[in-house]
Amino acid sequence: MTDAVRYAREGTLAVVTLDDGKVNAMSLPFFRALQAALDRAEADDPAAIVITGRPGVFSAGLDVKLLPTLPAAELRETLLTFGRTLLRLFTLPLPTVAAVSGHAIAGGALLAFACDLRVAADGPFRLQLNEVAIGLTLPTWAIVLACAAVPPRWHTEAILHARGYAPAEALARQILDRVVPPERLLEAAREAAVPLAGLDHGAYGGSKARLRATAVRLAMDRLDEESPGRLPAKQP
C-alpha cells in the first residue's frame, strides 16, 4: 500500500481511504495499493469494508495525463489491472460500502459501482461515466459494474449518453442509496454497513459470487481483448 491508499480497522469495520492530495487519479501503483488493501481486508475479516476518498473527491478516474505517455506494454498492464481490481472488489466476499466523498468520474464512478452500497456526500459534486463523451468505448467489465448499480431504466442515459448526476439526481434514480451532509458521510456509511455486518459471511460471499458469476465470467473472458496497448486518437 501507499500513503494514497490507507487501510485502518475501526472496530468491526475496515476503512480504506483514498487520498493522494489531489483528485485520486488511478494508475498502476494505485491499483496495486488497492489490491493490497483488499488482501489485508480478506485476511483481517472485518464485518464490512467502507471505501472513501478525500473531501470533495472520491476519484476522478484514470490518470488521463499519464496514460498517453506510457509504453504500450505498461498501458495494457494498467488497463488489465484496472479491470481485474474492480472486478475483484465487485465479487469480494465481504460486504462493501462506498462512502462517495465528492466527485466520482469515470473510473471513480466504477469504483463506487463495484461496492454493494453507495452513500454520498451532498454538495456540488458529479457522478458520471464520461467515457463515451471523450471518445472511449467502455469495456464489458465496466458495463457489467454499471448495470449492477444503475437501474435498467437509466442505463441508456448513464452509460451511453454520459449523463452526469448531482448527488440528489443520482439518489432519485436509485444509483445512490443515501445522500448526507459531508460531515456525516463516514457515520452514514458505517450505519449502512451495520445490517450487512450482521449477515452470515459465508452465505453472503457465496451468494454474491453466484449472483454475479455469469456477468463476471463474460467480463473476464473479454478483458484481454478489450485492453488495448494504445489509446484512441481522441482524448480530453
* CATH at residue 16: 3.90.226.10
Identify the active-site residue in 42, 131, 157, 191: 131
Catalytic status, residue 10:
no
What are the DSSP E strand ranges found in 80-146? 96-100, 102-105, 117-121, 127-128
**pTM, to two decimals:** 0.96
Residue 139 lies in a domain: yes
Domain span at residue 76 reads: 5-196
Residue 118 lies in a domain: yes
Residue 158 lies in a domain: yes
pLDDT tens, position by position, for the chain (236 residues)? 568 999 999 999 999 999 999 999 999 999 999 999 999 999 999 999 999 999 999 999 999 999 999 999 999 999 999 999 999 999 999 999 999 999 999 999 999 999 999 999 999 999 999 999 999 999 999 999 999 999 999 999 999 999 999 999 999 999 999 999 999 999 999 999 999 989 999 999 999 999 999 999 999 999 999 998 777 665 43
- In one-letter notation, the amino acid at residue 221 is D
CA angle, 195 as apex, 44 and 181 as ends, to 5°?
95
Residue 208 lies in a domain: no
Burial class of residue 210, CB neighbours in 10 A (0-12, 13-18, 19+): exposed
**How many domains does one find in the chain?**
1
Residue 76 lies in a domain: yes
Residue 185 lies in a domain: yes
Cell representation of residue 47: 464485518
Q: How far apart are CA 79 and CA 162, in angstroms?
A: 20
